[in-house]
Protein backbone atom coordinates (compact mmCIF):
# COMPACT_ATOMS: atom_id res chain seq x y z
CA UNK A 1 0.00 0.00 0.00
CA UNK A 2 1.33 3.36 -0.91
CA UNK A 3 1.02 6.51 1.15
CA UNK A 4 -1.26 7.90 -1.59
CA UNK A 5 -3.77 5.09 -1.01
CA UNK A 6 -3.57 5.60 2.74
CA UNK A 7 -4.09 9.34 2.32
CA UNK A 8 -7.19 8.67 0.22
CA UNK A 9 -8.65 6.30 2.79
CA UNK A 10 -7.93 8.68 5.66
CA UNK A 11 -9.64 11.46 3.75
CA UNK A 12 -12.77 9.32 3.43
CA UNK A 13 -12.56 8.28 7.10
CA UNK A 14 -12.73 11.94 8.10
CA UNK A 15 -16.25 12.03 6.65
CA UNK A 16 -17.40 9.11 8.84
CA UNK A 17 -19.35 9.65 12.06
CA UNK A 18 -17.13 10.40 15.07
CA UNK A 19 -17.72 7.03 16.74
CA UNK A 20 -16.72 5.20 13.59
CA UNK A 21 -13.58 7.34 13.29
CA UNK A 22 -12.72 6.37 16.87
CA UNK A 23 -13.12 2.70 15.92
CA UNK A 24 -10.78 3.15 12.95
CA UNK A 25 -8.21 4.89 15.15
CA UNK A 26 -8.39 2.06 17.71
CA UNK A 27 -7.75 -0.52 15.00
CA UNK A 28 -4.70 1.36 13.74
CA UNK A 29 -3.38 1.86 17.29
CA UNK A 30 -3.76 -1.87 17.98
CA UNK A 31 -1.92 -2.73 14.76
CA UNK A 32 0.87 -0.37 15.76
CA UNK A 33 1.05 -1.94 19.25
CA UNK A 34 1.27 -5.43 17.77
CA UNK A 35 4.09 -4.41 15.44
CA UNK A 36 6.05 -2.82 18.28
CA UNK A 37 5.90 -5.97 20.38
CA UNK A 38 6.20 -8.62 17.74
CA UNK A 39 8.97 -11.15 17.74
CA UNK A 40 10.20 -12.48 14.46
CA UNK A 41 12.52 -15.37 13.90
CA UNK A 42 15.13 -15.59 11.23
CA UNK A 43 15.21 -18.64 8.99
CA UNK A 44 17.70 -20.51 11.16
CA UNK A 45 15.60 -20.60 14.36
CA UNK A 46 12.50 -21.42 12.35
CA UNK A 47 14.26 -24.44 10.83
CA UNK A 48 15.39 -25.53 14.31
CA UNK A 49 11.86 -25.34 15.69
CA UNK A 50 10.56 -27.31 12.71
CA UNK A 51 13.30 -29.92 13.19
CA UNK A 52 12.49 -30.33 16.86
CA UNK A 53 8.78 -30.62 16.19
CA UNK A 54 9.38 -33.22 13.49
CA UNK A 55 11.70 -35.32 15.65
CA UNK A 56 11.18 -34.65 19.35
CA UNK A 57 13.94 -35.60 21.76
CA UNK A 58 12.79 -38.83 23.37
CA UNK A 59 14.78 -38.10 26.55
CA UNK A 60 12.10 -35.59 27.49
CA UNK A 61 8.39 -36.03 28.02
CA UNK A 62 5.52 -33.69 27.30
CA UNK A 63 3.80 -31.79 30.10
CA UNK A 64 0.63 -33.84 29.56
CA UNK A 65 2.57 -37.10 29.80
CA UNK A 66 4.34 -35.94 32.96
CA UNK A 67 0.99 -35.04 34.54
CA UNK A 68 -0.42 -38.47 33.66
CA UNK A 69 2.59 -40.21 35.23
CA UNK A 70 2.35 -38.10 38.39
CA UNK A 71 -1.40 -38.70 38.69
CA UNK A 72 -0.83 -42.43 38.30
CA UNK A 73 1.80 -42.45 41.07
CA UNK A 74 -0.43 -40.53 43.49
CA UNK A 75 -3.58 -42.56 42.79
User: What's the predicted TM-score (pTM) here?
Assistant: 0.46
For residue 61, the tally of other CB atoms under 10 A from its CB is 13
Residue 60 CA: distances (Å) to CA of 37, 51, 56, 65 = 31, 15, 8, 10
Residue 2 has pLDDT above 80, yes or no: no
pLDDT tens readout for residues 3-55: 899 999 999 999 999 999 999 999 999 988 888 876 777 888 888 888 888 88
61, 69 Cβ separation under 8 angstroms = yes
> What's the confidence (pLDDT) of residue 1?
59
pLDDT tens readout for residues 41-63: 788 888 888 888 888 777 777 88
CA distance 25 to 13: 10
Please indicate whether residue 75 or residue 14 has the higher confidence score (pLDDT): 14
Amino acid sequence: MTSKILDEVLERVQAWPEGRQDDAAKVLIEMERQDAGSISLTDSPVREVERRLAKPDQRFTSLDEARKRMAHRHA
